[in-house]
Structure 1
Amino acid sequence: MAKSKLIRMDNIGIVVESLDDAISFFTEIGLTLEGRAKIEGEWAGKVTGLGAQSVEIAMMVTPDGHSRLELSKFISPAVISDHRNAPVNALGYLRVMFAVDDLDELIPRLLAHGAEIVGEVVKYENSYRLCYVRGAEGILVGLAEQLNNK
């Protein structure tokens, strides 16, 4: 019997309180809203193990079309825990990292959306400028600007 092979990573899921705020924040980074829908029904609860559920989702896609974020707002059942302000060394979800072409231009736009720089913008060798920002919903996002292409 042939071993199943990985084809691709479809998306990363992030649960949020405000889809509109999260969509706005990730749009500012450069993702595009691919679609928005309400997901409910017996099949959905069987997948998640939550039973009866109602969730509104928004699918955000990167410019190259290869990576997606699925933003989910649970209507029912209610959210049971909140990890949004966990530090970067907490167990579980850490952050999502995006390659960008101009940190100096992007950061002020994200700050205008209420984002905060977590530490500092740093240079890694002569390869990247990197930083973490905590954006909409407290979501931790890494940004990396490659230097050797300039």
Structure 2
Amino acid sequence: MTIKSMHHLGITVTDLKGAVAFFVELGMELEGGMHMEGEFVDGVIGLDGSRSEIAMLKTPDERYRIEFSEFETPQSIDGSSHAPINALGLRHVAFVVDDLDDTLARLKPHGAEVVRNIETYQDVLRTCYVRGPEGILIELCEYFD
């Protein structure tokens, strides 16, 4: 038996509205949001008395989703959101964009910062890492036609 598909990636943040605004500006679409609490949720995530707000965003092709969660209780703990790329664990999310320079210009007012450089790999692509809201590390790739 193999998996059928990936449903979503979950990211916990302290500013849900800011994270949603950033990723909508990037080009994702808000699919929906809701308040989460109760025995069912506690049983799934393993935290008693949890209360959170979530927002589900999808890529324009509807193939991928990111669920952002902001916890009211219990209080979120620092998961080393500003760790470098070589730290263990989930480190970055990568997106293909049409125009890297335009994307960076649109994300800058939302706090995006290029980690170091925009690099070109042969005649294939331009790419860079960007720190977004909550220190989320994002790789942006523009492929050459």
TM-score range, shorter chain: over 0.9
Aligned-residue identity in percent: 45
Residues 25-104 of structure 1 aligned to structure 2 (within 5 Å): 25-104=22-101
Stretches of 4+ aligned residues off by more than 4 angstroms = none
SS in 2 for 1:79: coil
Unaligned runs of 5+ in 1: none
Q: CA-to-partner distance for each residue in 1:32-77, whole Å, 9 max, x for gaps? A: 1100101111011111111221111000000000100000001111
Query: Distance in 1 between the 2:22 and 2:81 partners?
Result: 15
Query: Distance in 2 between the 1:55 and 1:113 partners?
Result: 23
The alignment's TM-score, normalised by the length of structure 2, stands at 0.96
Query: Distance in 1 between the 2:39 and 2:119 partners?
Result: 48
CA contact (8 A) 2:14 2:76 kept: no
Query: Distance in 2 between the 1:103 and 1:86 partners?
Result: 24
* Alignment equivalent of 2:117, drawn from 115, 120, 123: 120
Unaligned runs of 5+ in 2: none
The alignment of Structure 1 onto Structure 2 pairs a total of residues equal to 145
| Structure 1 residue 5: Cα displacement | 2.1
RMSD across aligned positions (CA): 0.9
The alignment's TM-score, normalised by the length of structure 1, stands at 0.93
